[in-house]
Structure 1
Amino acid sequence: MEIKDNFKEKRLFSNRTIVAAIMVFLMLIILIAQMFNLQILQYEKYRTRSVNNRLKIEPQPPRRGLIYDRDGVILADNTPSFQLTLIPEEVKNINDTTLRLRNIIEISDEEMERFEKLMKNLWRNNLHRFDHIPIKFQLTDNEVARFAINRHLFPGVYVKAHIARRYPLKEVASHIIGYVGRINEIELKTLDYFDYAGSTHVGKTGIEKYYEDVLHGTVGEIKVEKNVSGRYIRTIEETPPKPGNDIYLTINSTLQMEVEKAFGKYSGAVVAIEPSSGEILAMVSQPGYDLNLFVNGISSEKYKELQQDKMQPLFNRLTRGQYPPGSTTKPLVGLAGLYYGVIKPDDEVFCPGHYMLPNVSHKYRCWKKWGHGKVDLNHGIAQSCDVYFYDLSYKLGIDRMSTFLGRFGIGQKTGIDLPGEKTGILPSREWKKRVKNEPWFHGETLISGIGQGFTLTTPLQLAQATALIANRGKYVKPHLLKYHEDPATKNKVMPDLDTEGKDIEDVSNQDWNTIIQAMHDVVHGKRGTARKIGKDAPFTFAGKTGTAQVFGVKQDEEAKKTEELAFELRDHALFIAFAPIDKPKIAVAVIVEHGGGGSSVAAPVARIVLDQYLLGESNGTIE
């Protein structure tokens, strides 16, 4: 039988007790240290986290500024709408959630693809897991109701009320107004995150893009308290957003619609400008397109349809269309001849129907096959005699001609307040050497003298040049902004128009009179090329027809009549005008693509513009 050693057992128990006490003490020290760390050292950190779990700051996007025409007609406004959003941080299984959502709300494959793309690139898109990520825009009332019934099945999914952009006139002035669209990946990299927090759209084209900073406004925020389930309890603090400024444009929407209607089956462009101020009265690129299609993402099928349309409705002909100006530049070339002393108004040139350079067999044809006979400057412009201007351009030389036309803005951006303006081409020896590394030839000078060859202009440049003639050299800057206004204070901000040093002051009044009289005879003279549209006009005006060749005719080939050509091979028709001739109120440039002749197609469009603006009369469409 084993005898217990009480002393040994007591010592073992004491040792274990001491060890246990030491371990408890050490654990207590660790606990106290951790409490000190949490309560003292990292107090602010965890307090902030706690507050953030309870308090949420929600950005409040501003109301986008409205766009009006000069008379207060709304061109772009905002309308209430609902969108379906998801906060990734609050959703356990996003794939399952979106799959179930599609059972109660119609979400297209394109919408899902866009949402998934955003989710994969949150950081790159300047988004976070606690942001509302849009799934579907413009929910119907029925869809909102269906989701409300099933709201409890979709934690982290919300229906958010927001303001959607709307264009009540649809395709009217579409290339001027432009449209807003959803912010894409590239734009997210350049836009300030805080300026666009809560915003989903940005100006993409036209005025909407050019004046984005004016229209956008300033983001506000709401600090709200929520419970552990994320449900709203109360609003703690609110900083309201500041709406964007409203923009008033210079265009007259009635005139704009009348001009768009005037084109009928044709495509082309019209720019109407007020010579005294530079305000754009109408600016048409025809055909247009419904701006509303792009606001929340156009379907790929519809976009493909617009892209493949032969009439190119998406192409902005006003600032990006570059056309040979044809005979519309003859008044400028004639004025150059007077300015440099190369000709006098009554100097005559004989036109047999063609022109030949010295020691060259090539014949440069006049549009009138049998010729005009003896022609002076007035008749050269009024009857648009090519031979007269072949001879004049040869005497002037390309360098002087190029320099003088450049003073009227040919081959230069006008500075219009629209994005993407092209410069056109004003050829010269230096230009050809730089661009093509080739020498200049005399024949190219002749062709440039009648607005063909390398010369390209935009409709806007032609309108600006016409306004300069109407003003007798007084420069005005073409612009679309009349003013923008703070909707709260009604403070107006006018556009800054720099016109210093651009007047043409060294042309004599007599020379201006000579050119303007010749342009008067184009529409009011017995043999003027546009005499048909001036016959019954209740006002006196000046004009010039033009025809821009789409393809060349060989030297030994007979030119075909317009009606014998395929439509896409017909010449472009051009016309410039201003009225009334003594105190001009409007200057117009018209380009009708494949219209054939300037006098038969483009001039009637110009007359419609003049009648509508000066008389308030509507004269229908061209045939």
Structure 2
Amino acid sequence: MSSTPLKDHNRETRTFRIRAVIAFIIVLIALFGLVTRFYFLQVMEHDRYSALSDKNRVQLQPVAPTRGLIYDRNGVLLADNQPSYSVTLLKEEVKDLDGTLARLQELIPITDKQVERFRKRLKQRRRPFESVPLRFRLTEDEIARISVNYHRLPGVRIEADLIRYYPYGSSLVHALGYVGRINERELERVDETNYSATHYIGKLGIEKYYESTLHGQVGFQKVETNARGRVMRVLERTDPVPGEDLILSLDLKLQQTTEKLLEGRRAAVVAIDPKDGGILALVSTPGYDPNMFVTGISNKDYGALRESDDLPLFNRALRGRYPPGSTVKPITALAAIDSGSVSPSFKVRDFGWYTLTKNGRRYRDWKRGGHGVVGLNLALAQSCDVWFYSAGHKMGVDPMSDYLGRFGFGSIESLDLPEATRGILPSREWKRNNRRAPWYPGDSLNLSIGQGFLLATPMQLATATAVIANRGRWVQPRMLKGAYQPDEEKGFAVGEMEYDYGKGKPEDVQLNHPEYWNLIIQGMVDVVHGPRGTARRSAKGVKYRFAGKTGTAQVVGIKQDEEYDAEKLAERLRDHALFVAFAPVEDPKIAVAVIVENGGGGSSTAAPIARKVMDAYLVGEKEVESTEFESLMGYDHD
């Protein structure tokens, strides 16, 4: 039987002491390291970490400027800013984005499309700690529901913002344009710093053209935030510079009266002040509500606008290119006599048709039996096609194209209408380059009566009419009248505003024979005031003298052996009705161009509209009585 050895207490004590000493040394080393690190951080690196701490606590935030307002010439507010509350997310503070979005959808209505747009905005370039909007125009109830759940929604904020509001909706959309959410492509074209807090930018019209003036300059503020990123107090602030308030030459009452006259039609009217080129009215119908586009239009609403047969999104006044028809006859007549192609006493015998060669193709007059012997004045008053065929044949294309170009056809002479198009001014070179064909005499005949290849916009027709009213003096159409300035006595004043449009004024139309202006204008006066004028009914009861010219533009061709019958054609295949005018003749204050798509004759449809527009501006008529309106309807062609 073996015995168990007794414990060696001395050895165990020695081992314990060695281990205790080693542990104590390790503790000392660790403590020394901790003290050394503490000294390094608190003393040696104090300034650095103090700055980093302040950066985490103090943030520099951009402050968006207030967008400038827009007024009409009488000080009526056309484009306003209204407060709106939005729910936004700060990506840097959101740990679970999908979960946060799901919780928000449980609290307030948020569509999948809104979530999709939010994710797109999240991917755009942005400054650190810049919030991204998810849904706009929150109600008070929705704000309350989010606020009481803040503790479950880190990174979610309710932010107040000013958004654009157009109180007159569709009445002014084609004149003003609208603002919308700024996108990545637009951010690349602007100063990123100046737009760092801006969510909206001008998309169309005046809002787009004067974006830099309306936007203003961004401000900045230093704010102290808590651990959750919420602003506790503002430490320092540099106020933003608000955008300038603009006054336009538009007359809201005239605009609304004109829109009422065009109700239910596809049409456009442009009215210009011949003295300074100020645009008094610019109407294209049908229109649409621009407020739908400010914070983002739904697919359903946009699809309905885009697919409508009436094209409400299309700005007919600026982009509609139409054969101007007989409305250009005053200019082609002026070209014929001033170039010496025919004399002012030149006459033709009109049998109802014109031929270039014996037994050749017949170019028909609008009056089937003809007008008999016709001179310059009657050719304008009765819109005799045969006189213009003959003069156009003798003249050829070169003088016609030259004179039409002097009046602004084929070019964009307006100053601040970014959607304006130049139309088509045909010439020998144009046809050779675009149609790969030579210019034929028959082309000159068509051009002389405003048909064929010539296409013009209502804006160009109004501009050319203003130049005629000024007897050749050019004024370029523009919307801007000046800067809005408050005035204690008058309520507001128009301040001077310098703006570089980047283009010079066209040369005034200088005639070889300035006295010929009288002949052309008298012919236009006789269109409405003469005993045989095509639009004489439109001048019934007028309190001023005006000059005008009717026009009818074919939509489909009619064979030589057929007669035009509107009742047999589908409504959208009928002729366009046109009319241009200026008044008063002695001291022109307004020049008007009207086009009614598929409206029939210019005298029966377009001329009464122009008359009522001029009445509204010159004598202050506000209401259009249907019986009175119908009494102005003429029944002559053209």
- Kindly provide the amino acid, as one letter, of the partner of residue 605 in structure 1: I
Tell me: CA distance 1:153–1:527, structure 2 relative to 1, closer, same or farther (3 Å). same
SS of residue matched to 2:158:
strand
Q: Which amino acid aligns with 1:93?
A: D
Find the aligned partners of 1:230 and 1:18 in 2 and give their Cα distance: 48
- The yes-or-no answer on 1:602 pairing with 2:595 is no
Helix, strand or coil at the partner of 2:609: helix
**Residue pair 1:269, 1:283 contacting (<8 A) in 2 also:** yes
Preserved contact between residue 243 and residue 487 of structure 1 (Cα < 8 Å): no
Greater shift after overlay, 593-602 or 528-537? 528-537
Distance 1:54 1:536, change over 3 A: same
The 1-side partners of 2:362 and 2:296 are apart by 55
1:536 to 536, 541, 550: 541
1:86 match: 89
Measured in 1, the distance between the counterparts of 2:43 and 2:276 equals: 70
1:573 counterpart (574, 577, 598): 577
**Cα distance in 2 for residues equivalent to 1:462 and 1:134:** 45
Give the 3 Å change call, closer, same or farther, for CA 140–350 of structure 1 in structure 2: same
Q: CA deviation at 1:362?
A: 1.2
User: What letter corresponds to residue 588 of structure 1 in structure 2?
Assistant: V
1:225 shift after superposition: 1.1
1:465 has 2:464 as partner: yes
* Aligned mates of 2:160, 2:455 — CA distance in 1: 49
SS at match of 2:527: helix
Q: 1:101 to 1:541 in 2, by over 3 A?
A: same
Q: State the shift of 1:174 in Å.
A: 1.0
State the alpha-carbon separation in 2 of the partners of residues 555 and 20 from structure 1.
119
Whether contact under 8 Å (2:72, 2:250) holds in the other structure is yes
- What is residue 377 of structure 2 aligned with on the other side? 378
CA distance in 2, matches of 1:149, 1:25: 51
Change (3 A) 1:26 1:347: same
Q: CA deviation at 1:620?
A: 4.4
Match of 1:114 among 117, 124, 134: 117
Q: For 1:149-193, what per-residue CA distance to the aligned partner results, in whole angstroms no more than 9, with x for missing partners?
A: 222221210111111111111111211111111112222232322
Q: Give the Cα–Cα distance (whole angstroms) in 2 for the partners of residues 514 and 310 of structure 1.
A: 43
Corresponding residue number in structure 2 for 1:214? 213
3-state secondary structure, aligned to 1:193: coil
Contact kept in structure 2, 1:244 and 1:486, CA below 8 Å:
no
Rounded Cα–Cα distance in structure 2 between residues aligned with 1:335 and 1:106: 65
Contact 2:566 2:600 in 1 (8 A): yes
- Whichever residue aligns with residue 325 of structure 1, its letter is P
Match of 2:319, SS state, is coil
Is the CA contact (8 Å cut-off) linking 1:268 and 1:286 kept in structure 2?
Answer: yes
Q: Secondary structure at the match of 2:107?
A: coil
* 1:579-622 Cα shifts (integer Å, max 9, x gaps): 11111111111111110110000001100111101110133466
SS at match of 2:170: coil
Looking at structure 2, the residues matched to 71 and 308 of structure 1 have their Cα atoms a distance apart, in angstroms, of 37
Tell me the number of residue pairs that the alignment of Structure 1 and Structure 2 aligns: 615
Q: Which residue of 1 aligns with 2:597?
A: 593
List alignment gaps of at least 5 residues for structure 1. Answer: none
The 3 A distance-change label for structure 1 pair 521 and 177 is same
Give the 3-state SS of the residue equivalent to 1:171 in structure 2.
helix
For 1:180, the equivalent position in structure 2 comes to 179
Quick one: structure 1 residues 501 and 406, their matched pair in 2 at CA, closer, same or farther if it must change by over 3 Å?
Answer: closer
Tell me, in whole angstroms, the C-alpha distance in 2 between the residues paired with 1:281 and 1:40.
Answer: 72
Answer yes or no: is 1:102 the counterpart of 2:105. yes
Q: Which ranges of structure 2 fall in alignment gaps of 5 or more residues?
A: 631-638
Aligned counterpart, 1:505 = 510
Deviation at 1:130, TM superposition (A): 1.8
8 Å CA contact retained: 2:575, 2:601: yes
Alpha-carbon distance change, 439 to 17 in structure 1, aligned in 2, over 3 angstroms: farther
Query: Per-residue CA shift, 1:260-293, capped at 9, x if unaligned?
Result: 0001321111111111111111111111111111
The structure-2 alpha-carbon separation of the partners of 1:231 and 1:430, relative to structure 1 and needing over 3 Å to count, comes to closer
> 1:62-89: CA deviations, max 9, x gaps?
1111000000001000111100001011
- Contact 2:558–2:564 (CA<8 Å) still a contact in 1? no
Could you tell me how far 1:487 is from its partner in structure 2?
Answer: 7.7
Distance in 2, matches of 1:389 and 1:496, equals 41
Secondary structure of 1:102 counterpart = helix
Match of 2:451 in 1: 452
Is this contact kept in 1: 2:325–2:450, CA < 8 A? Answer: yes
Q: 1:525 aligns with which of 520, 530, 534?
A: 530
Is the Cα–Cα contact under 8 Å of residues 225 and 232 in structure 1 kept in the other structure?
yes
Match of 2:634 in 1: none
Q: Which residue of 2 aligns with 1:547?
A: 552
Paired residues of 1:280 and 1:478 also in contact (CA < 8 A)? yes
* Partner secondary structure for residue 201 of structure 2: strand
Task: Give the alignment of 1:152-171 within 5 angstroms.
Answer: 152-171=151-170
How many Å separate the matches in 2 of 1:451 and 1:212? 37
- For residues 30-64 of structure 1, the C-alpha deviation after alignment (integer angstroms, 9 at most, x for no partner) is 995997599657954x4443212111222211111
CA contact (8 A) 1:351 1:387 kept: yes
What's 1:59 paired with?
A: 62
* Map 1:76-475 → 2, pairs under 5 A: 76-119=79-122, 121=123, 125-128=124-127, 130-358=129-357, 361-475=360-474
Q: What amino acid is the match of 2:610? A: A
2: distance between equivalents of 1:148 and 1:30? 44
SS at match of 1:319: helix
1 CA distance for matches of 2:323 and 2:146?
58
Distance 1:424 1:231 in 2: 56
TM-score, normalization: structure 2?
A: 0.90
What CA distance in whole angstroms lies between the structure 2 residues aligned with 1:112 and 1:604?
51
- SS of structure 1 residue aligned to 2:169: coil
Report how far residue 442 of structure 1 moved: 1.2
Q: 1:360 to 1:35 in 2, by over 3 A?
A: farther
C-alpha deviation, 1:118, in angstroms: 2.2
Q: Distance in 2 between matches of 1:460 and 1:251?
A: 14
Query: Does the aligned pair in 2 maintain the 1:222–1:238 contact within 8 Å?
Result: yes
1:515 aligns with 2:520: yes
Aligned amino acid, residue 599 of structure 2: G
Instruction: Write the letter of the residue equivalent to 2:601.
Output: G
What per-residue deviation string (whole Å, max 9, x for no partner) do you get for residues 94-123 of structure 1?
11111011111111221111012223x2xx
- Per-residue CA shift, 1:325-374, capped at 9, x if unaligned? 10000000000111111222221111111111125621111111111111
TM (norm. structure 1) is 0.92
User: Tell me, what secondary structure is at the counterpart of 2:247?
Assistant: strand
Distance 1:526 1:136, change over 3 A: same
Letter of the 1:110 partner, please give it: K
Residues 27, 336 of structure 1: CA spacing in aligned structure 2 closer, same or farther, 3 A cutoff? farther
Alpha-carbon separation, structure 2, partners of 1:31 and 1:443: 102
Percent of pairs identical after alignment?
48
1:507 CA displacement: 4.3
SS of equivalent residue, structure 1 residue 285: strand
Q: Distance in 2 between matches of 1:388 and 1:153?
A: 83
The CA distance in 1 between the partners of 2:95 and 2:480, in whole Å, is 50
Alignment check: 8 A CA contact 2:93 2:228 kept: no
Tell me if the contact between 1:126 and 1:189 (Cα under 8 Å) persists in the aligned partners: no
Residue type of the partner of 1:326? G
In the alignment, the residues of structure 1 paired with residue 506 and residue 258 of structure 2 have an alpha-carbon distance, to the nearest angstrom, of 34
Which residue of 561, 571, 576 maps to 2:565?
561
Secondary structure in structure 2 of the residue aligned to 1:493: coil
| Local SS of the residue matching 1:550 | coil
User: SS at the partner of 2:515?
Assistant: helix
Q: Secondary structure at the match of 2:545?
A: coil
| Secondary structure class of the residue paired with 2:283 | strand
Counterpart amino acid of residue 71 in structure 1:
N
Do the aligned partners of residues 495 and 196 (structure 1) sit closer, same or farther apart at CA in structure 2, a change above 3 Å counting? closer
1:234 CA displacement: 2.2
Inter-partner Cα distance in structure 1 for 2:407 and 2:46: 71
CA-based RMSD: 2.9
